[in-house]
Every structure is written in C-alpha cells, then in structure tokens.
Structure 1
Amino acid sequence: MSKTAFVTGGTGFIGANLVRLLLQSGYQVKALVRPTSKLDNLQNLDIEIVKGDLNDADLADKIIGCEVLFHVAALYSLWQSDKQPLYQQNVLGTKNVLTAARKAKVDRTVYTSSVAAIGVKEGSIADETYQSPIDRLIGEYKKSKFLAEQEAQNAVKLGQDVVIVNPTSPIGPWDIKPTPTGDIILKFLRRQMPFYLDTGLNFIDVGDVAQGHLLALEKGRMGDRYILGNQNLTLKELLDLLSKITGIPAPQTTVPSFLPLTVAWIDEYVLAPLGKPPFVPLDGVRMSTQKMYYDSSKAVRELGLPQTPIPTALKNAIDWFDKNFALNLKYNSAR
C-alpha cells in the first residue's frame, strides 16, 4: 500500500509543486488548508483536503494515519507591523505541527525552513555550517524562520526524526501570489522594470526544490539542514537572461540604494500610520543591499539534488505566467 503524506502549505508555490510530485511518486496526500485559503493551486488533484490551522489544538487527530509529514506552510511578510502574526504562524505554528506529528507517530518530518534563517555571509557564500546571529538577520520574517528552525532542532533533541531543508529563491509554475522572485519576473514581462537594484540571489527551479523535499525524506540525515539552491546570480544577470529568452529589453540603469530606502521609510513610518496602505517594505529594501549567495553542494552531494539550468526554469515560469496572468506574450519559447 502507498504511504500517506500530510502536507501543510499545499496551496502555496513550493507546496503545490511538492503535492504534484508526491502524487506522481505514488503517495496519497492529505493537505492542510485554512478555511479561508484559495484552492486554485490544488484544483482537480486527487488529494484529501483537511480544513484547519497550524495552531489547532486537535491537529494530531488530523495527522493520524500519515507516515510522513512535510511542513511547508509559513507566513511571508516583510512588513515590520506583522511581527506578531509572523511569530504566531512561523514559530508557534511550527512548534505545534511538530508536536502534533510526534503525537500522531509520524515516521519522519521534513521541515521547510529557508536560507533566510541562515542569513547572509558578507562578501562570501554561505553554506549549512554558517549561521548569522539573530540580531544580524534583517527583518521579522527572517528572525521568525530562524526561531522556527530552532523549534525543529528542539524536536530532534527529543528524538523526533526531522530533516530541515532551506530553499533559496525558486522559479517556475504555480507561483500564484506571486513570490518576490515571481514578482520580479512578472514585472519584467509587463515591462514595468525601468531600473534595477545592485543585488544578487541564489536561484533554483521550483521542481528541483520539490525533488529536494522528497530526497530529504528518503536520504536526509536526522537533524541536518540542506540548502536547496542552484546558481548565484546578480539581479542584472537574471534580467539579462529574461531578455535573452523573451526579446524584451532588460533595464540598463541601476538605482542607488538610498532612493528606495528613503521611499520605504516614508511608506512605513509616515504614510502607513496615517492609514495609507504601504507599498514598499523597508526590510525588503534593506535585504536587497546584500548579495544573498549560497552553496548548495551538500544537497547535491548527499541527496542528489537536481540542478536544472536556470534558463529552463525561467522559460517554465514565463510560460506559466503568460498563460495564467493573460500576458499575451509573443516570443519563441524554444529560444
């Protein structure tokens, strides 16, 4: 009989890709979704939908019967005003999910952390052995992911079989919100990026991230963390790749960081208190002043993490955005 996997965050970007991979791999899937969640990313899939929240007191009852669990769900926000919800969902929610998995006698849990929890190694490339002190992590989101990962390590100390994966910046289909990386791609495709910031990120095909979760389940070492990433690129290099694929001209002018920092500060500290919706998160701009580069060789070596070329991942993302956001692009997808 096939195993049953319990998945949190299945309606999201990584989760939607993971659920599809699990089904293809012969798993039965139970997906925890909030009563208010949109189910667009899970439409027409042969899965069991379980209504609930990460902090439900009866969560263990909903998990019983599942052999494995993937805790992918997290609140992502760069607004400083979201400190409390971030802590409630990401830290306390993770603690509750792990406790519930232990009560339900789940064999193994894969916890989706983030490279945000690791932090940035200034002027260098970080791997799993590096850890930025929490007071040097920019923003409440990163701090919440750091603290959530500590909850995973606490569970390991209690003897719970937990493997941690730290995705970088995924690219690909089902990026429905979209994510910050998807938003960059979408703005580029809509020709809404006349300028760019001098920053850098590590990118990976979202399908490889999903594979990394399954590989961590099968091969990961209890208590270890694995960076699921691929290629370090400056934002300019990513935009140039998008231009090469689509024929849309890439922006050629960079913006000095003090300009968006000033706009973001006014947005959060002047306009927001006056009741005007903020548009530019200050912590997001502060993050962009760093090059967030990572080394994923451990996951490649120990798990066999695939390394799909980033241009291929970009083509898949472009085609998905074109179809689902009615962009009506006219470009040769075989380029």
Structure 2
Amino acid sequence: MNVMITGATGLIGSRLVKILSRQGFAIKALVRDIDRAQQLIKEPIEFIRGDLTNEAALEEALRGCRYLFHLAADYRLWVPDPEVMNRTNIEGTRLVMQKALQAGVERIVYTSSVCVLGCNEDGSPVDEEAASTVADMISPYKKSKFLAEKLVMDMVRDKGLPAVIVNPSTPVGPGDSRPTPTGTMVLNAARDGGMFYADTGLNVAHVDDIAQGHLLALQKGEVGRRYILGGENLSLRELFAMTARITDRPGPKFMVPQAMMYLAGFTGELLARMGFLKNPVATMDSVRMASKKMYYSSERAERELGYTHRPAIEAVQDAVCWFKEQQMLS
C-alpha cells in the first residue's frame, strides 16, 4: 500500500506518518529539507526533495502511489505578501491534484481547515453545511484555504478527482516543534499561566485524533464530501486555565479589552512592515478573528467515519509534557 504525503514534517503530518507506518503503508514524502525531515521523522520513509511548485519532484513522489494525503500549507498569521502564500496554498494544491490525476492515484485526502466554514454569530457550533464566501474570510491564510478547497471541489465535480476533504479544527498535542500559533499560546500559558486573555473561543482536538481521522477519511470517506475533525469547544479563558492548572500557575485573570487588542494588532503590523518584527504576536486579522467564537461540530465524522476525540485536557497535558521533554518551558 504505497502512499504519498505532503506536509509530513508538520504537526498533523508527522503524527499521521506514525499511524500510517504502524498500519504497514509504504510512505513517500515530499519535503523541502531532507536533513530536517530525518531529524523529525524516525519511521521508515522515502523522502523526495522538492516543494509544491516542483513538477518533477511531485511526479517522482507520486509514482507508484495508490493514495495521497495532501497536508502541506503555508500557515502564518502574518504575511507581508499574500501572493507568496497563494502560490503554495492555491497553485501548489492545483499542481498536486493535477499530478495525482495523471499518476492514477486511487484516493486522495485533502486537508482543508475549519476556517473556511466561518462562524455563527451566536457562538453555536458550525457544521460542514455552513455557508460562507471568500468575502467572509478575514486573513490571507483563510482566503487561500477557502479558494484551495473550492479548487479541489471543482476538480472532483469536473475531472473526477477522487478526493475526500477533511477540515481539522485546532490541533494540540505532542510534536509541535515550531510551534503552531495555538501551540505557542499553550506554551506561553504553561510558562506564565496565561494571565491575559481575549473573549474568544476555539475548538481544541488532540493532534493524534485528527491524524487518525485522516486515515478514517481515506478508508470510509465519501469523495467530494467534507468532514470536520474536531474536539472540544472551549473559551480561550478555559484553555488558559486548563493549561495553568497542569503547570501549577496562577491562571488567567484579565480579559483584554477589544480596543487594546486592536491597538496591539495595529502596532504589531506596523513594526513588521518596518522590518522590526518578523512574526508579530498580534495583527489586525488575528484581532478580528478573536472577536468570534470559533466553535465546530464533528458529528458527521463521528457518524460516517467512526471518528472519536478525547477530552481537550488530554491534548493539553500531552502538549505540555512534550514541551517539557523538549526543554521549551523554561
């Protein structure tokens, strides 16, 4: 059972590699840096050097593969030039799917995101049928993922692309080496208790549950259908309090007023554009996103795929334990 995976060194991808290896898959991975990939991934795997714009590398990676997991994406809260992100997330996805069709791949799992679904104003959980448009997408990342998912859906309809779409929520857990934006929040709350918080909410899922959901989508998913792979809906205050308890920190105390958040976002973007910051902690887009409660339901995946998720506390505990093992808490 030969399978190709993009994004194998990412948080979800690296955990998916472990699952596929245990299941006996022969794995090929497209990576930009083979040396770094070998440091992160210890499972038996064939690395192909290249990126999502490299046609020859994609053809080599897909040769002889029955299945494809496309997880790779440019995920940044701040990007000075959105076209750089679009080349990876939209045009890269287009090229991967075209090459998969040419290679005769039998089944594809495309990793989208819950961010393309938008949010309900009343804070109630959103499911896969939630209507949204590109105009609803706040940030360059969300816009690029929305357009990439639409591209995949169009290819399913028009070209017979054998793709199943999964929409992960917020993965938390071991292996977050960069770390991700949410991993950074958990790490900081583990260090200082997350004293300051915004009036927002998110859906937290253990990264291993999301990775397992990818395999279930390959095995049981319906082509052209979306599946939210999520977990537990929590306010940011609840997430910080949960993390603080694990490390015996005082916990969140002060909700940051929205006006102050906008000031921080404006200042962060200004300093980034002037070259003083590479990755601002707050941007105008991140502040706009924080004004909504991003809650989701995984009922369809549970019903149709047999997807399950553990309590969020286990995801946070495993993340904090991993950060501690990597000496990242100090």
Q: Deviations over 1:10-66 (max 9, x none)?
A: 011000000011001111110110148732663322111111111112222331101
Q: Is the 8 A contact 1:80 1:139 kept in 2?
A: no
How big is the shift at 1:315? 1.2
Note the residue ranges of structure 1 that are not aligned, 5 or more in a row: 329-335
SS of residue in 1 equivalent to 2:47: strand
Q: How does 1:1-335 map to 2 (within 5 A)?
A: 3-35=1-33, 38-39=36-37, 42-58=40-56, 59-123=58-122, 124-157=124-157, 158-191=159-192, 193-268=194-269, 270-277=270-277, 279=280, 280-327=282-329
Q: What CA RMSD, in Å, does the superposition of the two structures yield over aligned residues?
A: 1.6
Give SS of 2:36's match.
coil
| Whole-Å separation in 1 of the counterparts to 2:240 and 2:225 | 34
SS at match of 1:69: strand
- CA separation of 1:136 and 1:319: change in aligned 2, threshold 3 A: same
> Which stretch has the larger CA shift, 184-193 or 147-156?
184-193
Q: Does the 8 Å CA contact 1:11/1:41 hold for their aligned counterparts?
A: no
Question: Compared with structure 1, are the counterparts of its residues 193 and 241 closer, same or farther at alpha carbon in structure 2 (3 Å cutoff)?
Answer: closer
Q: What residue identity is the alignment partner of 2:318?
A: N
Deviation track 1:66-118 (CA, whole Å, cap 9, x = no partner) reads: 11000000001122523111110000010101111111111100000001111
Deviations 1:211-249 (A, max 9, x none): 100000000000001000011110111122223333222
Gaps of 5+ in 2: none
Aligned equivalents of 1:313, 1:147: Cα separation in 2 = 30
Amino acid at match of 1:161: P
Distance 1:193-1:41 versus aligned 2 partners, 3 A rule: farther
Aligned residues: 325
Q: Distance in 1 between matches of 2:211 and 2:141?
A: 22
Query: Quick one: which amino acid aligns to residue 93 of structure 1?
Result: G
Q: Percent identity?
A: 43
Task: State the AA in 2 paired with 1:116.
Answer: C
The one-letter amino acid of 1:223's match is G
Does the CA contact (< 8 Å) of 1:87 and 1:144 recur in 2? yes
Partner secondary structure for residue 55 of structure 2: coil
Provide the rounded CA distance (Å) in 1 between the counterparts of 2:180 and 2:219: 28
TM-score normalised over the length of structure 2:
0.94
| One-letter amino acid matched to 1:302 | E
- CA–CA distance in structure 2, aligned partners of residues 44 and 14 of structure 1: 15
- Offset at 1:275? 2.8
Judging changes above 3 Å, is the alpha-carbon distance between structure 1 residues 41 and 212 closer, same or farther for their aligned structure 2 residues?
Answer: farther
Query: C-alpha separation between the residues in 1 aligned to 2:241 and 2:288?
Result: 23
Q: Distance in 1 between matches of 2:231 and 2:268?
A: 34
In 2, distance between residues paired with 1:30 and 1:305? 25
Task: Indicate the SS of the match to 2:316.
Answer: helix
> 1:122 offset after TM fit, Å?
1.6
Matched position secondary structure for 2:288: helix
Whether the 8 Å CA contact 1:113–1:165 is kept in 2: the answer is yes
Q: Is the 8 A contact 2:29 2:61 kept in 1?
A: no
SS at match of 2:81: helix
SS of match in other structure, 1:130 = coil
Moved over 4 A (4+): none
